Amino acid sequence: MVAIYKYRTALHMTQTQLALLVGVTPNAITQYESGARKPNILMLKKLARALNTTADALLEPIEIEEEN
């Protein structure tokens, strides 16, 4: 879920800080961001709150601008 990474870094938050806010290990955040593991619906809600966004925003694909 690349969106978690996008929102986390936009807030200048480390994986450890986010993990503490939502009650998981930093390794779990790494796995969520890489797509190796998917958060359950309750965790998705916690992540959205911690990242000041919505669960829908975390689920939507991120548009990546192409370099010219």
Quote the number of domains for the chain: 1
Domain that holds residue 16: 2-59
Q: Is residue 18 part of a domain?
A: yes
* pTM attached to this predicted model: 0.84
Domain harbouring 21, CATH code: 1.10.260.40
Contact 39, 2 (CB under 8 A): no
Helix (H, G, I), strand (E, B) or coil at 48: helix
Q: What is the pLDDT along the chain (68 residues), one digit of tens a residue?
A: 789 999 999 999 999 999 999 999 999 999 999 989 999 999 999 999 999 999 999 986 656 566 66
Rg (C-alpha) for the chain, rounded Å, is 12
Report in angstroms the alpha-carbon separations of 22 from 4, 42, 63: 13, 10, 26
Report in angstroms the alpha-carbon separations of 47 from 14, 21, 65, 68: 13, 8, 25, 34
